[in-house]
Amino acid sequence: MIEAKNLTKRFGKQLVFENLNFKINDGEFISLIGPNGSGKTTLVKILMGLEKGTDGTLKFDQKQTIGYVPQFRNIDLDYPLNIEQFIRLNLKFTFSPAKRHDDNELITDILNKTNLTTLKDRPLGLASGGEKQKAYLAQALLNDPQILILDESTASLDVEVKMQLMDLVQELNQKYHITVIFITHDYELTQKYTQRALFFKNKTIEDVAVKDISKNMFEMEG
């Protein structure tokens, strides 16, 4: 379980959010919504230990590992790595043959789980948007995360491609009970895939049941 108690974040004089109180249960598929600049990425950075809260606490079982899938960014056509090589960037380098063997098995497993096995030799620069995002998802899965964060990972993908990626994430959530935190501006995807939303409003967070999620919560500007 992840639990925030009176979590507050400031950058210098700027208050980003104040007194956040919420819980996220293990295995939950939750969305994190709110306008640009409301602090969604900052919150998950605190969770990942990349930023510190100014006040209050954000606690979770420190044995749990976290995978992060960033927002879609295009990659140059002449990017030098293929899909498998790109995923392997997240492996720790080793001279040990036994460890290399384990890594190869892990890569085979992750390629299967993300439906990338037949595409593994494709240069990443020539892959479609959906394939690129699956490659980022595969990278995030390498350290066997119990918590998976999708930070606007479906933005700017076509509707069917978004759904394919989300179906895959849903399968991971259901089969392996990975907790999913889905940051999005997409009303339909929130309705279809998530069980609950944490909604940033007026520098704090509201806990919203999926039936009470409304379209006006998805405005990009605050």
Ligand X SMILES: Nc1ncnc2c1ncn2[C@@H]1O[C@H](COP(=O)(O)OP(=O)(O)O)[C@@H](O)[C@H]1O
Residues contributing to the site for ligand X (CB under 6 A): 11, 16, 34, 36-42
Torsion of CA 115, 121, 126, 132, to 10 degrees: 40
Q: How far is the CB of 140 from ligand X (least distance, A)?
A: 18
Per partner kind, with CB cut-offs from 5 to 8 A, the member of Mg ion, ligand X, none near residue 38 is ligand X
Read off φ and ψ for residue 8, nearest 5 degrees: -130, 140
Considering the complex, state which of residue 29 and residue 200 has its C-beta at the smaller distance from ligand X: 200
Considering the complex, state which of residue 34 and residue 67 has its C-beta at the smaller distance from ligand X: 34
Read off φ and ψ for residue 4, nearest 5 degrees: -100, 135
Cβ-count burial of 148 within 10 angstroms (0-12 exposed, 13-18 middle, 19+ buried)? buried
Q: Say if CB 32 and CB 186 are below 8 A apart.
A: no
Q: How far is the CB of 183 from Mg ion (least distance, A)?
A: 6
Considering the complex, state which of residue 42 and residue 64 has its C-beta at the smaller distance from ligand X: 42
- Does 41 sit near Mg ion (CB under 5 A)? yes
- Tell me the three state secondary structure of residue 12: coil
Per partner kind, with CB cut-offs from 5 to 8 A, the member of ligand X, Mg ion, none near residue 16 is ligand X
Distance CA 87, CA 13 (A): 39
* ∠ CA 112-113-118, rounded to 5°: 30
Considering the complex, state which of residue 41 and residue 153 has its C-beta at the smaller distance from ligand X: 41
Q: Which is nearest to 131 in space by CA: 115, 108, 155, 145? A: 115
Q: How far is the CB of 177 from ligand X (least distance, A)?
A: 26
Per partner kind, with CB cut-offs from 5 to 8 A, the member of ligand X, Mg ion, none near residue 184 is none
Considering the complex, state which of residue 40 and residue 185 has its C-beta at the smaller distance from Mg ion: 40
Per partner kind, with CB cut-offs from 5 to 8 A, the member of Mg ion, ligand X, none near residue 74 is none
Please give the residue whose beta carbon sits closest to Mg ion in the complex: 41
- Does 153 sit near Mg ion (CB under 5 A)? no
Contacts of 92 (CB under 8 A, 6+ apart): none
Residue 110 identity:
I
Give the binding site for Mg ion (CB under 5 A). 40-41
